[in-house]
Structure 1
Amino acid sequence: MKCFQFYLGERKDDPKTTKSTLVPSSCSAFADRDVRQSGSELNSQNMSDASTESRGRNQFPSLSERPNNLQVFTVAELKAATKNFSRSTKLGEGGFGCVYRGVIKSSDDPLKRVDVAVKQLGSRGMQGHKEWITEVNVLGVVEHPNLVRLIGYCAEDDERGIQRLLIYEFMPNGSVEDHLSVKSEAPLSWAMRLKIAQDAARGLAYLHEEMEFQIIFRDFKASNILLDEDWNAKLSDFGLARLGPSEGLTHVSTAVVGTMGYAAPEYIQTGRLTSKSDVWSYGVFLYELITGRRPLDRNRPRNEQKLLEWVKPYLSDAKKFQQILDPRLERKHLIKSAHKLSLVANRCLARHAKTRPKMSEVVAMVNQVVAASVEIGSPRPPLKAVGQKETEEGAGKKNKRRIMDARVVEGGWLVRIWSSKHVKTY
């Protein structure tokens, strides 16, 4: 796979202004890519990763030089797997392109058939290609039960030009966002939500701390957490992932990309990316699990549209806290557990990034919440599964929104939330 190189871009000094590419979290999963498209194609020259302290230093070593077990597919093989990319096999469409369900031969047993999700790059310019390369380089060298497995890729010329495709393990139970949606007929039990919180934290901890290099996810959110046939949660969509800062450096400076409602305030304001940016996003996600609400939902009354702002008045009073719990949950026995999980969320949402815990510490805290919640029962799937709906990406419209700035004191309680601040989007 040495023809692929992890995209780092040209080294530059820190820009005076930070270009931003963020999408409202109230949009469905497929819309997340659309806003990236509009920004990245216009400003791909601004998508480089640099550090104030790193001027003149060498680029990070290419991840493509590391061994991997990825299969290389031909377009013909993938056409056969997806019935020539038939609409009947189409799982969704977004800014990246289309995702199809396919069937391939197992690499271990040619007589065995394996379900896969095939992501086909659309016509999005160089930034789409960079995201494709990043996925290959990241998922090609990492292996963890809480990361979606990349089976292989395809880069081949045909009559339509260069074809770029990615082949993933199929995740039959869709995304966590599917099950948290008010439209879901199969809401997740509290025990399932705790297990998902554990699984997602373990995935991030692996990326941040358990390899000889650090990977910052940069787009952690409910729609990027998929559920396999056994309802294990796995992180997906690594197109925006970045290598963490080298030893001795504090951050990597990047163009601001991601999803509104999840991005850490210091990252929005400065473009300085650290692993603590992912920790903030994880804290937001915990409140999603607790409330069943999206971080930003324009369909709700004005005073309830921003999740962190809405929960603020309910956090200091145990009786009031009950009012923010997802009404679809059976509240017996879970109020204490939910409150404990909110305390973990508040640690992750500390105003100063340095005071936020590492993800390994978050894993330990979530494990304690789970251990203290044995009376809730063992995790079990919803009454109705999503079926065969795949949501590695989602469909929706593009939006330009105002980014809000969430603040919490070091003690954990939210004190000033969502002060209005405009960030340029494309």
Structure 2
Amino acid sequence: MKKVLCCFKGESSSQGAARNRQQPGTNNNGDEEDPQRPFGDNEYLNNAWRNNLQIPDDRLPREPPRSSPPRLPRFTLRWQEILEGTQNLADANMLGEGNFGQVYRCNIPRLDKVGAAKIQKVENAEAKTEFEAEITTLERANHPNVISLLGQCVTDEDRVIVYEFMPRGSLEYHLYADARPAPGLQQQQGRVVLNWEKRMNIALGVASALIYLHEELKTVHRDLKVANVLLDEDFVPKLTDFGLATRMVRDGNGIEKQCEIDPIKGTMGCIAPETEESALVSSKSDVYSYGVFLVTLFTGRKAFDRARPVGSRKINEWLMSVWSRDEYLPIVLDVALGNTFSEEGVKRLFQAARMCMDPNVLQRPTMRFVETMLRQAAAYDVVTLAPVLRRREMA
């Protein structure tokens, strides 16, 4: 079976038009020009060129209004800017650590922004593949629930991706009591209890991000989990970590088909069975992971927990005893919700999760169908119910 490389690079029409309009090196008369002023006396375009800004093309029609945020300009950053912005990679600025490097809070005065800088060592070939997958995906992305790319830096020793900074950190921190806050977050409010409304908004935001990936970017995320969902000041979720992102594959009739990956990567408990067993991925693999995400979000349980008895370490195994009995569902909800939630909404949520986590990949719905079910769940009234037997009574 053909294997698919996950790195793609596009160019906007305005970038191409600007490049074709006049190449740096000559002016309109064909004479040599100042290399710092390739557009002659037009300082607006010269400044845009010097700072790697997207150069506009006024000949193109204006885009109609849309819900996506304005695309942030992306810069090629200097290593010295990364060092200064992170205070020489100070531990106090660390936001996290992954398989291939660390993430630091990074002030970038030139952009007048605070970013999150993911730093990798260049000698790691596997890390290079994920770096390229992430850069090429985020360069094309523009959605309110997908993390924004601010810039990148590549030196002889390091590769750096800089994203927008999310002040509330990861969803994992607010969901699990044993999750430690990152030193670089400098959170003043600390961990916040997520009520029903916040969780519904997070679930809908992540669903919207996946719809965008699947329908617009034709891309499979491959590593959806609570740790890869970051929260802004208003708890708006942003999907991040696109190192495993893979372009969707279609047959001659334009129908998506599964593609083979090597090696198998992902997070235990979140990986779809066809990926875990046969190294196959598709948009339906993300749908499965979203089902796991939905259950973890509303139960407060981890997708995989070695502390649970053998046979119930994966969350779908843990829920097996209540999957088919709607009246039992409230007992597995996160105790942090108290008794304030929607009974009908809970039923619809778990119905959506069961459909997403169907072992048969062909039986899973699309993310757009799942989002419709979530909106229906969110429409039910939220009430404070009488105390119920909670999940702590379950082994």
Normalising to structure 2: TM-score of the pair? 0.74
Query: In the TM superposition, what is the alpha-carbon distance from 1:355 to its structure 2 partner?
Result: 1.8
Q: State yes or no: 1:175 paired with 2:170.
A: yes
Deviation at 1:354, TM superposition (A): 1.7
Contact 1:98–1:122 under 8 Å retained in 2: no
**Aligned mate of 1:89, from 83, 93, 106:** 93
Quote the residue 1:165 is aligned against.
160
What residue in structure 2 maps to residue 203 of structure 1? Answer: 209
CA displacement at 1:320 relative to structure 2: 2.2
TM-fit CA distance, 1:135: 1.0
The answer as to whether partners of 2:292 and 2:353 remain within 8 angstroms in 1 is yes
Matched residue, 2:8: 62
Deviation at residue 338 of structure 1 after TM alignment = 1.6
Q: Rg: which structure is higher?
A: 2
Which residue matches 2:274? 266
Deviation of 1:374 after TM superposition, in Å, equals 5.5
Give the Cα separation in 1 of the matches to 2:6 and 2:124: 24
Alignment match, 1:314: 322
Structure 1 residue 290 displacement after superposition = 2.1
How far, CA to CA, are the matches of 2:224 and 2:293 in structure 1? 8
Gaps of 5+ in 1: 1-12, 15-48, 51-58, 108-112, 377-426
Hey, what does 1:240 align to over in structure 2? 244
Call closer, same or farther: CA 1:82–1:352 in 2, change over 3 Å: same
Deviation string, structure 1 residues 200-246 (Cα, Å, up to 9, x no partner): 0000000001x2x4000001111001101111001000000000003
**Residue 7 of structure 2 contacts residue 133 of structure 2 at CA under 8 Å; is this kept in 1?**
no
Could you tell me whether the CA contact under 8 Å between 1:96 and 1:124 is conserved in 2? Answer: no
Compute the displacement of 1:64 (Å).
Answer: 4.2
Unaligned runs of 5+ in 2: 16-53, 55-72, 180-190, 385-395
* Residue in 2 that maps onto 1:323: 331
Q: Is the 8 A contact 2:93 2:105 kept in 1?
A: yes
Mapping for residues 124-139 of structure 1, pairs under 5 Å: 125-139=124-138
Instruction: Measure how far apart 1:247 and its partner are.
Output: 4.8
Deviations 1:243-262 (A, max 9, x none): 00035351221122111101
Q: Distance in 2 between matches of 1:62 and 1:228?
A: 28
TM-score (norm 1): 0.69
- SS of residue in 1 equivalent to 2:267: strand
The structure, 1 or 2, with the larger RCO (C-alpha pairs under 8 Å, 6+ apart) is 1
User: Which residue is equivalent to 1:254?
Assistant: 261
Q: Please list the CA deviations of residues 104-143 of structure 1 after superposition, one character each: whole Å capped at 9, or x if unmatched.
A: 1254xxxxx3211111103662010111111111101111
* Match runs of 1:335-374 below 5 Å: 335-373=343-381
Superposed counterparts of 1:183-222, under 5 Å:
183=178, 185-209=191-215, 211=216, 213-222=217-226
Aligned-residue CA RMSD (Å)? 2.2
Identity of aligned residues (%): 35
What letter is aligned with 2:125? M
Shift of 1:329: 1.3
Contact 1:152 1:167 in 2 (8 A): yes
CA 240–61 in structure 1, closer or farther in 2 if over 3 Å, else same: closer
> Amino acid of the residue matched to residue 140 of structure 2?
V
Structure 1 CA distance for aligned equivalents of residues 322 and 350 of structure 2: 11
Q: 1:181, 1:299 → 2: CA distance?
A: 14
- 2: distance between equivalents of 1:311 and 1:152? 42
Aligned partner of residue 143 in structure 1, secondary structure = coil
